[in-house]
A = this chain, B = another copy of it.
Amino acid sequence: MTEHAGTLGRRERATMRDVAALAGVGVKTVSRVFNDVPTVAPELVERVRAAAEKLGYRPNLTAASLRRADRRTHTIGLLLEDVSNPYSSALHRAVEDYAREHNTFVLAASLDDDPQRERELARQLIDRRVDGIIVMPVGKDHRYVVGEQQAGTSFVFVDRLATPLVADAVIADNVAGARRATEHLLATGRRRIAYVGDDLAIPTAEQRFLGYGQALASAGVQPDPDLVVHGLRTAEQARTAVIELLRTGGVQGLFTSQNLVTIGAVEALHELGLQYQVALVGFDEIPLAAVVQPGVSVIAQDPAALGRAAARRLFERMAGDTGPPAVETIPTRLVVRGSGELPL
């Protein structure tokens, strides 16, 4: 008989039974040792640890959680617009850090603004019995969440509200931020201010468009449909749309509704050499905003604060909080860098 332990060959993973047999104790004693139950004789602890070490034993948490009273898998789900989007990923990191302090892993996935995928992935997370789910929602009907909550899976919405309001949410102050951005552009004396934004079906886009409209109304500026572009999903689309918009002439300022749109708009302005004529304030921070000439003024969100608050809320729910759904609003702030303050 030869050993078959080649570099990448397979052998079975040792179980608690194997460890118990080698240590000459019952499985329950092995269980106690690995769960740090203090009432085990020091000598047995030693024998169990040695046996486990020798066999390369690792406890099977998925088996444990199946039997445990609390049924916790110590895993939460996180459904984001796109894990590689800077806003999503900053939020992701904050959730990860909070979860780690609670010994919990994060199962993250991207929705790409597909409502069907939201439901499908939420279902798959539930099939894996995550302890809770943080979702940056896409769909317009979140009643499916209620049954899951009753069955013991906690939900917290982030960046956008649930419709109807069936779960906690942590959102940025979108309306106020957009109003502030637009007011800032108006303050330079500009009147023909365009709104360039994402799909209006996305609640944040809707709210930002609302804030834009409110600011114009307060200033007594008549809204002009020719100065409004919706439905831009990528920086490239935004770039093209802004070039188009600026060709028609007369645009004095741009309010862009999110980071990718802002990047596309900056590219377009530079391409046309209009970066010192047409003012710009974007929603969301963008990288190198301070390096571009002129610097890009933005309404900065704090995605890490949103992620942290959402995680905190989720763990409170998971710990048994059964109060009515609450909405927490994280403020935004105007960052002045030049592009929004260009003299007319």
Contacts A7-B325, A61-B127 known; 19 new A-B pairs at CB < 8 A: A8-B149, A8-B317, A10-B150, A14-B151, A56-B147, A60-B129, A61-B128, A75-B128, A82-B93, A83-B96, A84-B90, A86-B287, A92-B108, A96-B110, A105-B107, A263-B288, A267-B290, A286-B288, A291-B292
Interface segment, one of A38-46, A62-70, A134-142: A62-70
A248 on the interface (CB 8 Å rule)?
no
A203 on the interface (CB 8 Å rule)?
no
Q: Mark A94-130, 1 if CB is under 8 A from B, else 0.
A: 0010001000011111100000000000011111110
A58 on the interface (CB 8 Å rule)?
yes
Separation of A322 and B92 alpha carbons in the complex (Å)? 35
Interface residues of A in 1-43 (CB under 8 A from B): 5-14
Q: Mark A50-62, 1 if CB is under 8 A from B, else 0.
A: 0000001011111
Is the CB–CB distance between B323 and A8 below 8 Å? Answer: yes
Residue from the list B62, B100, B109 in contact with A62, Cβ < 8 A:
B62
Given the complex, which residues of B lie within 8 Å of A92, measured CB to CB? 83-84, 89, 108
* A107-B110 contact given A123-B58, A288-B287, A290-B267, CB 8 Å threshold: no
Q: Mark A257-282, 1 if CB is under 8 A from B, else 0.
A: 00000010011001000000000000
* A9-B150 contact given A66-B66, A83-B89, A84-B90, CB 8 Å threshold: yes
Given the complex, which residues of B lie within 8 Å of A86, measured CB to CB? 84, 86, 89, 287
A152 on the interface (CB 8 Å rule)?
yes
Q: Mark A281-297, 1 if CB is under 8 A from B, else 0.
A: 00000111011110000
Given the complex, which residues of B lie within 8 Å of A90, measured CB to CB? 84
Is the CB–CB distance between A152 and B13 below 8 Å? Answer: yes
Nearest Cβ distance between residue A185 and chain B, in whole angstroms? 20
7 A–B contacts, CB within 8 A, in A order? A9-B150, A56-B147, A62-B129, A82-B93, A84-B92, A96-B109, A105-B125
* A151-B267 contact given A8-B324, A110-B96, A322-B8, CB 8 Å threshold: no
* A266-B293 contact given A106-B107, A150-B10, A152-B13, CB 8 Å threshold: no
Separation of A85 and B84 alpha carbons in the complex (Å)? 9
Identity of the chain B residue whose Cβ is nearest the Cβ of A60 in the assembled complex: B129
Is the CB–CB distance between B290 and A287 below 8 Å? Answer: no
Is the CB–CB distance between B75 and A84 below 8 Å? Answer: no
Residue from the list B58, B85, B126, B288 in contact with A266, Cβ < 8 A:
B288
A146 on the interface (CB 8 Å rule)?
yes
Identity of the chain B residue whose Cβ is nearest the Cβ of A78 in the assembled complex: B108
